[in-house]
Structure 1
Amino acid sequence: MLQGVGETGRQARRLRQDMSLPEIVLWRALQQRPGGFKFRRQHPSGPYIADFYCHESRLIVEVDGEVHGRGDRPLRDDVRDRWFIQRGLTVLRLPAAYVLSNLDGAISAIAQAAEQRRQ
């Protein structure tokens, strides 16, 4: 299991208290264990914090708001994703607008990705 240490762990605890609306909506659905998979929210992993993480399938789910398409954010997200991939994880990025407009579709995509990665 990936773990964060020090400040990353403290930041993850703060983020759990300050989730965005799409993250809250998705978290409520993930708590129902779609496909039988357990997810953690705001999971510290090395220097990063994953929005959601399923240990069984080694799947990270990121909910991306508009800011993820601006400035240097796409490059930073790419560096972050490569860090996770180098550790054997898969990153699934979902637009926040998609989560809010099609929660069932988002959950289906997550469950399908987790099933494909089941070890």
Structure 2
Amino acid sequence: MVQVFIPISNQNQNLPFIRGGRWGKKTSALGKSMTSYYNRSDGKSLRRTLRSKINDFEKIIWSKINRNQLGVKFRRQYGVGPYVIDFYCPLIKLAIEIDGDSHGEDDNPKKDIRRQNYIENFAIHFLRYKNEEVRDNLEGVLLDILRDISKHIETGGS
């Protein structure tokens, strides 16, 4: 098992959201509340369903990244606009996707690209892994995630 201590910086100056609006709620540069984009109430039942139907490979990753085990907090099945991310770290705007067999079928790769492009407009960056990578190289996947966390913590979350 890999254990690494990563000092956390509270510098979030590069995030595209500002304080403002009524009651000091966070708002986007466009003046919309963050809940207009993140974890919208109209997607709550979908996110809840996805959390209850987590596959074995997502369970493995979640068991290694939850409860701040990598030095940062992750959320599971996090909504961004009309889409849902498998795992998301708000501090460094990192999305982790575990792609199963269905991602290679029909026009799903095109949908994944369209979905990822939409989410990247929020300055969220992606790490993608196939089920097989998690199964065959879990330590390598975790080291890759740790490297990305370290890199973004050192640069203040950008």
TM norm. shorter chain > 0.5: yes
1:14 to 34, 49, 56: 49
Q: For 1:33-72, what aligned pairs fall within 5 Å after superposition?
A: 33-72=68-107
Distance (whole Å) between structure 2 residues aligned to residue 75 and residue 42 of structure 1: 21
Q: Which has the larger radius of gyration?
A: 2
The two structures, once aligned, show a CA RMSD in angstroms of 1.5
Query: Does structure 2 retain, via aligned residues, the 8 Å contact 1:57–1:114?
Result: yes
Question: What is the match of residue 90 of structure 1?
Answer: 125
Gaps of 5+ in 1: none
Deviates more, 1:94-103 or 1:53-62: 94-103
Using the size of structure 1 for normalisation, the TM-score is: 0.91
Distance (whole Å) between structure 1 residues aligned to residue 59 and residue 65 of structure 2: 10
Gaps of 5+ in 2: 1-33
Structure 1 ranges of 4+ moved more than 4 A: none
Distance (whole Å) between structure 1 residues aligned to residue 68 and residue 116 of structure 2: 24
Distance (whole Å) between structure 2 residues aligned to residue 63 and residue 17 of structure 1: 16
Distance (whole Å) between structure 2 residues aligned to residue 84 and residue 113 of structure 1: 18
Using the size of structure 2 for normalisation, the TM-score is: 0.70
> Once the two structures are aligned, what percentage of the paired residues are identical?
30
Post-superposition offset of 1:27: 0.3
Distance (whole Å) between structure 1 residues aligned to residue 104 and residue 149 of structure 2: 25
Post-superposition offset of 1:34: 4.4
